[in-house]
Amino acid sequence: MASTSSSIHWPPIEGVISDLDGVVYRGGTAIADAIDAFTRWQKAGVPFCFVTNNSTHTPADVVRKLAGFGLAIAPSQVVTSAITAAELVRSNYPQLTKVYVIGAPSLVTAMRDIGLEITDRSPEVVVMGLDRDITHEKMRIAVEAILNGAVFIGTNPDLLLPTASGFEPGAGATIAAIAAATQVQPSIVGKPHVPMIETALSRLGTNRASTIMIGDQVPTDIQAGKKAGLATVLVRTGVPMRRDPSLMDPDFVVATLRDIEVSADRAARPQQRRA
């Protein structure tokens, strides 16, 4: 059973991996306690890295957004599902070069950056992320390609994304629709799977046993952290928690990131790796 903020005895924490949406901000609005917490950890020399399932972000986008909230970070402190999806195509399907993308420009760019051809004509791979301009025609092309044998890859399974005023459908909602239509399950690269977590750990250079994973969603953030062997912290500033006996519980539950006790004298404070 997870500990709540009023009864937590925090272990030594030398590194932090964190989600963004619902943890650091909601839409375009910063979560003040989170900005304060990361600023405090930064000053204390505690390294951190953000992992985001939202494929509409590039690392540079996140850097600019957080700078606007008063938190200065390096691009190397951000791991995105778009970049991870591109890496998966290249590593697992090196012989495939023609990709149809449903998603934001950042997802298209991630594919092009590794030399893949973006096309809607006989694609060999369909990659889906969050697309706020989704149309029936885009979905038709994806369905046809997958039924003709194209590899199906999804950036993340998030059904909901927090906004400043509530929630919006996430990439997982449209990915689920294509999966239902084709009866083909996609390979998902984002949380709750661990590729982004492992990349973040390698960038931090911290010990797995003393690195925490922070998120607002049990089905994605918390499961990814648990699968990677990290202590997990659920913060109640994002998507409402729904109990599911089939899922692993977070180790800790907090109302705000200010409840997480990380201090300079407790942190190992390895040098933050920067690109």
When divided into structural domains, the chain yields a total of 2
In the three-class reduction of DSSP (H, G, I as helix; E, B as strand; rest coil), residue 51 is classed as strand
pLDDT at residue 189 is higher than 50: yes
Give residue 25's identity as a one-letter amino acid code.
Y
Beta strand residue intervals within 124-246, DSSP E: 125-128, 151-154, 160-162, 167-169, 187-188, 211-215, 231-235
Last residue of a domain, one of 134, 165, 188: 188
Residue 72 domain-assigned (yes or no): no
Residue 138 domain-assigned (yes or no): yes
Question: Rounded to an integer, what distance in angstroms lies between the CA atom of residue 208 and that of residue 164?
Answer: 33
54-58, 149-153, 164-168, 217-221: least confident range: 164-168
Instruction: Tell me the residue range of the domain where 122 lies.
Output: 82-188
202 and 255 part of one domain: yes
Residue 89 domain-assigned (yes or no): yes
Tens-digit pLDDT profile for residues 206-220:
999 999 999 998 989
Can you give the pLDDT at residue 267?
43
- Give the list of residues 6+ apart from residue 27 with CB closer than 8 angstroms, or none: 162, 163, 164, 165
| Backbone φ/ψ region at 122: left (φ over 0), alpha (ψ -120 to 50), beta | left
Residue count of the chain? 275
Can you give the pLDDT at residue 269?
43
106 and 197 part of one domain: no
Nearest alpha-carbon partner for 127 in 117, 135, 137, 167 = 117
Q: For the domain that residue 40 is a member of, what is the CATH number?
A: 3.40.50.1000
197 and 184 part of one domain: no
111 and 17 part of one domain: no
Residue 159 domain-assigned (yes or no): yes
136 and 149 part of one domain: yes
Question: CA of 114: how far to CAs of 75, 92, 118, 230, in Å?
Answer: 18, 13, 11, 31
Tell me, letter by letter, the H, E, C secondary structure of 149-163: CCEEEECCCCCEEEC
152 and 88 part of one domain: yes
110 and 136 part of one domain: yes
207 and 179 part of one domain: no
Nearest alpha-carbon partner for 24 in 37, 35, 36 = 35
91 and 136 part of one domain: yes
Per-residue tokens: 45 = 């020399």
Looking only at the bridges linking them, the beta strands covering 25-26 and 29-30 are antiparallel
pLDDT at residue 96 is higher than 80: yes
pLDDT at residue 4 is higher than 90: no
96 and 109 part of one domain: yes
pLDDT at residue 158 is higher than 90: no
Residue 275 domain-assigned (yes or no): no
Residue 165 domain-assigned (yes or no): yes
Buried b (16+ CB within 10 A) or exposed e, 132-158: eebeeebbebbbbbbeeebbbbbbbbb
pLDDT at residue 263 is higher than 80: no
Given pLDDT bands bounded at 50, 70 and 90, which one contains residue 240?
Answer: low
Q: At what angle do helices 81-92 and 105-113 cross, to 10 degrees?
A: 40
pLDDT at residue 50 is higher than 90: yes
Nearest alpha-carbon partner for 89 in 150, 1, 176 = 150
Average pLDDT over residues 247-263: 91
Question: Residue 66: exposed, middle, or buried by beta-carbon count in 10 A (0-12, 13-18, 19+)?
Answer: buried
Average pLDDT over residues 83-99: 94
Question: Rounded to an integer, what distance in angstroms lies between the CA atom of residue 58 and that of residue 246?
Answer: 33
Tens-digit pLDDT profile for residues 126-137:
999 999 999 999
Question: Rounded to an integer, what distance in angstroms lies between the CA atom of residue 79 and that of residue 57?
Answer: 10
Q: In the beta sheet, which residues pair with residue 3? A: 252
Average pLDDT over residues 171-197: 95
Question: Rounded to an integer, what distance in angstroms lies between the CA atom of residue 253 and that of residue 221?
Answer: 13
Residue 59 domain-assigned (yes or no): no
Can you give the pLDDT at residue 200?
94
Q: Could you list the active site residues?
A: 19, 21
More confident residue, 160 or 233: 233
Average pLDDT, the chain: 90
Peptide bond into 192 cis (omega under 30): yes
Q: What percent of the chain has pLDDT above 90?
A: 75
Last residue of a domain, one of 165, 188, 211: 188
Residue 274 domain-assigned (yes or no): no
Can you give the pLDDT at residue 2?
61
